[in-house]
Structure 1
Amino acid sequence: MKKCIYVVEDNINIREIIEFLLVEEMYDVITCPNTRSFWQQMNKHLPDMVVLDVMLPDGNGVEICSKLKQNAKTHQIPVMMMSAGNNLYKIKAKCSAEDFINKPFDLNDFANRIERYVAN
């Protein structure tokens, strides 16, 4: 069975590139442009991993990460935070995501990081 990854990214170009890459790597991918659509998807199905942009139009990834990690049903889901700013050290202090990556990022590095967290 394919692993499912949720990608929460408001920039359509970045979202589509990540989706294309992950589909090519044989993952099921659900993309969400904002926090509202993410929580709607979470009510339907829990993913194997979540990739979160920090800055979103209706909230931020740090808040999503914190809620996921505080919930007994979702705390085990690996989270990767993405940020275009060079403020990852600040983000690391605010949430307990498994991984952090700066945008723009190397696609091979990104794919390898995803595989590390969702491999059987």
Structure 2
Amino acid sequence: MDSIIKRICVLEDDESIREVLEILLTEENYQVNGFASVSDFLKGNKGNEPDLFLLDIMLPDGNGIDLCSMLKSSERTRNIPVLMMSAHSNQMKVEETCSAEGFVKKPFDIYDLLLKVESVLAG
């Protein structure tokens, strides 16, 4: 068993969903940093790159697809996997516009989400 704790950055504006994700992922032994807005994410994520970004698409001050594109075009973060989440967007559109490694449709199945996270982190 790998003793290195994987870090996951969660960007989700819905507080209850963010809390569920934080609790769920923490129980699976991930270190989780949660953010409610793009501006909080940009301020709080400097120099502490996670092993995975889990990004909502519709946010109060921006768009997760734009943020994904920004992360994928940065030398510092381009190799960090991204999972996108949305209740409103379709997977094809997201995959065409952003180089995310996966898509989670909301409402999500907890076990499906965990399998996707594990799969993406395993490479």
Aligned residue for 1:14, secondary structure, equals helix
Are 2:16 and 1:36 aligned?
A: no
User: How far apart are residue 86 of structure 1 and its match?
Assistant: 4.7
What is residue 61 of structure 1 aligned with on the other side? 64
User: Quick one: which of 9, 16, 27 aligns to 1:6?
Assistant: 9
Distance in 1 between residues matched to 2:89 and 2:60, nearest whole Å: 19
Gaps of 5+ in 2: none
User: How far apart are residue 42 of structure 1 and its match?
Assistant: 2.0
User: How far apart are residue 88 of structure 1 and its match?
Assistant: 2.3
Q: Which amino acid aligns with 2:48?
A: H
What is residue 98 of structure 2 aligned with on the other side? 95
What is residue 112 of structure 1 aligned with on the other side? 115
Gaps of 5+ in 1: none
Relative to the length of structure 1, the TM-score reads: 0.95
Aligned residue for 1:97, secondary structure, equals coil
What's the Cα RMSD here? 1.2
User: Quick one: which of 81, 86, 92 aligns to 1:83?
Assistant: 86
Aligned residue for 2:46, secondary structure, equals helix
User: How far apart are residue 105 of structure 1 and its match?
Assistant: 0.9
Distance in 1 between residues matched to 2:54 and 2:86, nearest whole Å: 11
Distance in 2 between residues matched to 1:101 and 1:43, nearest whole Å: 25
Identity %: 44
Relative to the length of structure 2, the TM-score reads: 0.93
User: How far apart are residue 40 of structure 1 and its match?
Assistant: 1.4
Q: Figure out how many residues of one structure are paired with residues of the other and give that number.
A: 120
